[in-house]
Chain A
Amino acid sequence: MQAGTRQALSSWMRQFGLAIAVYIAMLVIATCALVAVNTRPIRTALVLAPILPGLALIGLTIRAYIRCDEFIQLRILQAAALAALVVAAFTLIYFFLGLLGLPHLSVAWISNILWAIFMAQLVRLMATDK
């Protein structure tokens, strides 16, 4: 992989990991705030706080995409499309399974599934570069 492209993907992986760590920390704080904080404005701010690192994940991904060459951009788009299709199929199936009594599933989990599928493909892309 060309230095610029590899650097873009490696840098994205590092920053993505950091953003995930911040997101999880904010998520824990938000969950605790839901129970422990009663002051309305502070509670609202803390509960909404995980949105920022969540948006950062999207921004970092777009930036890495722009910095890659055309073939890698195509592979990134294919990874995103496959992740979206798997999630579309999953949500469709789960909707009907939900009607049959399966427990309610938070959309946060759907987002996690999408990111996991997307990331797995990009890690595979980097791993096959020998």
Chain B
Amino acid sequence: MKNSVAALRAGRGWTQGDLAKHLRVSRQTVSAIETGRYDPSLPLAFLIAKLFKQRIEDIFDP
């Protein structure tokens, strides 16, 4: 699934590690989501959307 997590993260000047800390996941998880290798669970997707103050469908494009 395509997503704009990397762009949103860069917009805040965060590293993958910073975002991982905010989401309480591993940096590998953030990397896998950003590159589309892993689609996050619904709770994690909601957490990402809440963190960036966006709707899930605006971040993730199926």
Question: B-contacting residues of A (Cβ < 8 Å)?
Answer: 1-2, 4-6, 68-72, 74, 125, 128-129
Contact B27 A69 (CB under 8 A): no
Would you call the interface of chain B mostly helix, strand, loop, or mixed?
helix
Residues in B10-44 with C-beta less than 8 Å from chain A: 20-21, 24-29, 32-33, 38, 40-41, 44
Contact A4 B24 (CB under 8 A): yes
Complex contacts, A74 vs chain B, CB 8 Å? 38
Question: A-contacting residues of B (Cβ < 8 Å)?
Answer: 20-21, 24-29, 32-33, 38, 40-41, 44
Contact B38 A2 (CB under 8 A): no
CB distance from B35 to the nearest CB of A (A): 12
Contact A70 B40 (CB under 8 A): yes
A130 to chain B: closest residue by CB: B27
Complex contacts, A71 vs chain B, CB 8 Å? 25-26, 28-29, 32-33, 38
CB distance from A127 to the nearest CB of B (A): 12
CA distance A6 to B29 in the complex (A): 12
Contact A129 B27 (CB under 8 A): yes
Contact A72 B26 (CB under 8 A): yes
